[in-house]
Amino acid sequence: MMTIYGVVGYPVEHSLSPVMHNAAFKALDMDCAYHKFEVKGEHLQDAILGARHLGFGGLNVTIPHKEAAIRIIEPDRTALEIGAANTLDFRQMKAFNTDAAGAIDALRDSGVELDNKGVLVLGAGGAARAVVYGLAKAGATVTIANRTTAKAADLAAYMRSFGSVFGTSLDSLGEKVRAVDVIINTTPVGMGWEDKPMVTRDMLDRSQTVFDLVYKPLETPLLREARAAGARTVDGLSMLARQGARSFEIWTGVKPPVDIMERSARDAL
């Protein structure tokens, strides 16, 4: 019988996950299908447990349910430490977080080493939690710069259990950018057509890498600045495909063709 997977979120209409996972199932000739399900917070538990009892293989969980998911399905250590899950596996009845590893995979696959490197993370929200955790565990020295400085300080204080992490404001950003090897945007800045990048070409050089989690548009104003400065760029779709590939492997035990997943998402954009 066909095994069903899916993503629950609110809203979820524009999710690229169905395209990516269905492309991988097709490439591997697996009798599986992946759908998107719009679920409000008050129905999350019913939806997750219902999917499990209907025999689904697993679910991805996206905004705004990633934190709530670990109160419904027992998290593994990584999801517990991050405080959020994006992957539920009904075979193991466990919740996982593949965002952290997906971000690190995207950097490593672009040739970026992280051990003993300085990384500046812009933003201190949900995505930053996973990214900072992954970076800290990979041995980077991480500075979190956030509009609300107290949130950067709080997140840094928590993440210091896992590595070298500091919190700061967005003041004097040029100096902070020049002091690091890698700059990562985890804020939604860049999604709006009129958004001005916080980091500009004059702050960057060829030795640096700029990674933007925003993938719509694919080349954000920040990545355009980075390209103009000759810096290496990593886009948000690279991470999206890799977190998806890790979910796929958790569910099926099979390493999917990440290039096919990534290409299908790029085509769909």
Active site residues: 66
Rg for the chain (alpha carbons), in Å? 18
Shortest Å distance, C-beta 251 to ligand NAP: 18
**Amino acid, res. 98:** T
Shortest Å distance, C-beta 141 to ligand NAP: 20
> Contact between 99 and ligand NAP (CB under 6 A)?
yes
Q: Which two tokens stand for residue 148?
A: 């609300």
Binding mask 117-156 for ligand NAP (x = CB under 6 A): ------xxxxxx-----------------xxx--x-----
Shortest Å distance, C-beta 149 to ligand NAP: 8
Cα–Cα distance, 43 to 60 (Å, whole number): 16
Asked if residue 11 has a cis previous peptide bond (ω within 30° of 0), the answer is yes
Q: What is the dihedral of CA 154, 155, 156, 161, to 10 degrees?
A: 110
CA 44, chain centre distance (Å): 21
Shortest Å distance, C-beta 198 to ligand NAP: 7
Candidates 4-12, 47-55, 213-221, 252-260; binding stretch for ligand NAP (CB under 6 A): 213-221
Number of residues counted as binding ligand NAP (CB under 6 A): 24
Strand 87-89, strand 58-61: pairing: antiparallel
Cα–Cα distance, 102 to 243 (Å, whole number): 4
Contact set for ligand NAP, span 225-264 (CB under 6 A):
236, 239-240, 243
Looking at 15, 78, 186, 252, which residue binds ligand NAP (CB under 6 A)? 186
Whichever of 152 and 231 has its CB closer to ligand NAP, that residue is 152
Residue 236: HSE in the Cβ half-sphere, 13 Å Cα cutoff: 22
> Contact between 210 and ligand NAP (CB under 6 A)?
no
Shortest Å distance, C-beta 211 to ligand NAP: 9
> Contact between 41 and ligand NAP (CB under 6 A)?
no
**Amino acid, res. 24:** A
Candidates 48-56, 175-183, 188-196, 224-232; binding stretch for ligand NAP (CB under 6 A): 188-196
- In a 10 Å sphere around its CB, with 0-12 CB exposed, 13-18 middle and 19+ buried, how is residue 219 labelled? middle
Question: Tokens 């958004």 — which residue?
Answer: 195
Site residues (CB under 6 A) for ligand NAP?
63, 99, 123-128, 146-148, 151, 186-189, 191, 213-215, 236, 239-240, 243
